[in-house]
Structure 1
Amino acid sequence: MAIAVQLSELVVPGRTALVTVEVQEGVVGAHSLVPELALAAEAILPNIAALARSARAAGIPVVHCTADSRPDGLGANHNARLFGAMRKRPAAATPGAPTRRA
């Protein structure tokens, strides 16, 4: 059951921001390198979009933290499935690629 909440009741003006982490095409979107993750996230994406719209309408900054990597892989982690998938698709790691869109 959904609970109606007024965003204005939850924020402190000047001290609140909405931060999304890796909500981008290459992680949870159509260009996901891990399709199972995109499928699992599919139902929540409209809610994240609605929350971002509401935050902007309330004057709350919205910050999108995206995953990115160098095309040569320097400095990349290797301890997660997503990183392994990225190594298999080096073009996806190129800044500006569709997988990078938030």
Structure 2
Amino acid sequence: MPDNVPMEQAAILADAVSTPFGAVVHTEVRVGESVGVRGAGGVGTHVVQIARLVGATPVIVMDVNDEVLQRSLDLGADHAFRSDDPALQAKVAEKPYLNRT
């Protein structure tokens, strides 16, 4: 790390950036594939951004915090749902982008 980067900031790279990068890359997310993110804290937020960068669509986020859901949408998620919503499964299933047989 460059000397001008504080250790507190550099430490974030080992978890909040490299972990989601590895998750997206090693699962070989391809252009047009859907990605679901359960919990959009530090790691989940980066999954949203990296999935968007590799062309995933739709990117769907589930969390219990409305501010986190809005941030996810601002960072590239296509849809954001409250994970504590009893109708979550039905709401996700009704989306026309999902291929159902």
TM-score range, shorter chain: 0.3 to 0.5
> What TM-score do the two structures reach when normalised by structure 2?
0.33
> What TM-score do the two structures reach when normalised by structure 1?
0.33
**Structure 1 or 2: larger strand share?**
2
Task: State the structure with more CA Rg.
Answer: 1
